[in-house]
Amino acid sequence: MIYLEAEAREAVIEAGHRLREAGLVARTWGNISARISEDQFVITPSGLAYETMRPEDLVIVNIQDGSHQGSRKPSSEKGIHADAYRLRPDIHFVIHTHQNAATVFGIGGMDLTKDLPDILGDCVPCAAYGLPSTKALRKAVAKEVEMHPESKAFFMKNHGALCLGTDETEAFKVSAALEEACGKQLTFLDKRIRAASGGRAKDFGKSVRSGHRFLLTWKGMKKIYDLKRLPKDMPEAAAIHAAIYKKYDVTCIYHEKSREVRAWSRQARTLRPYVDDLAQIGGVCIGCVSGMVRDEIVDGLNNCNAVCLFGNGALCTGKTRDDTLAVAMILRKGALSALYAKTLSDCEPISKPDARLQRMIYLHTYSRKKEDSGVCLKS
């Protein structure tokens, strides 16, 4: 049943909250829509977080020509949603996510046909790679939607997943079922990651900066340092944070020590992105340094927001706390993707030209340069 406009707006907002609580979307990543007539749907706007989004923020889009109504800009992937509604009259709700397990499995470019729950049908097809928001990606996804009229979930290679439903409830169930099915396909990596992650990581601490001072949390202690009057006897962790702040325009540093990132850091290899969002938010080539030489760590962050430390995870940076934690979150998915890729016979990272283009667009167009109002230094 096609939604009434007011019902559709409420359903999209509700879906955003449900997906966020389930860990299937974060920040402004992904997009959600609902059909309101044979010719129109409402969709989430570009660059607005799900937790602050209101029904009136959604944008009405025309299915046939992509034109839209309202003051806000619709999601840049509106064309993919339009094609889903155009090709599948039975579909009234569409969710596009960058959910972890499905995104990681999708880097292999393979359809998923094994051990699928009934709601996913007999096949989850994989659409060919295309740069985000391009005609190439839209065409690739539309091809799979048209060729698999019984499927309700689709991989978007190196990008994410598309989930369809007759209503919000079904589309959410499809997204959750897809994540569970892909998670099962990746369980064989668990033992390898535990073995490869090594012992307990050395603590490099986390910090937040305000002006010329920064608050370091390290080994359970908190201390404020002044970049203009640094003590000569400060711990090496503090010296590393100070050196990063002196060289880069960042306000937060976080030591990411998850098993996936520690396991990758022990590879002592550059991490190239297999997923779009790592190229955008983390960097084109995330290096790995010994973690023992301060200058190597600082230099490793040149043109990146993360650097791997051999056997000790990675240091992540950002202009706000939220940005920094986003880098850490994406780095975990990026490391898992790279470890999974090593088990596949023919799986290449995103090309450097494509990665550079996405990084540039993110930094100059999508990355909001804002002050972190939550910074308050207290020892």
Active site residues: 77
> In whole angstroms, what is the distance from residue 332 CA to residue 235 CA?
27
Dihedral angle of Cα 337, 304, 286, 307, to the nearest 10 degrees: -110
Cα separation of 346 and 167, whole Å? 37
Q: Could you give the CA distance from residue 57 to residue 13 in angstroms, rounded to a whole number?
A: 10
3-state secondary structure of 42: strand
What is the three-state SS of 217-277? EECCEEEEEECCCCCCCCCHHHHHHHHHHHHCCCCEEEEECCHHHHHHHCCCCCECCCCHH
Euclidean distance between CA atoms 84 and 142, whole angstroms: 7
Backbone angles phi, psi at 155, to 5 degrees: -85, 145
Residues in the chain: 379
Q: Estimate the share of the chain in helix, then strand, then coil, as percent rounded to the nearest 5.
A: 40, 20, 40
Please work out, in degrees rounded to the nearest 5, the angle formed at the alpha carbon of residue 67 by the alpha carbons of 125 and 357.
60
What is the distance between the alpha carbons of residues 166 and 94, in angstroms, rounded to a whole number? 9
* Token pair 């200058």 in the structure block, residue: 295
Query: Would you state the structure tokens that stand for residue 41, as one six-digit string?
Result: 């749907």
Strand ranges of the sheet holding 314-318, from the earlier edge strand across to the other edge: 221-226, 213-218, 206-210, 252-256, 314-318, 306-309, 288-289
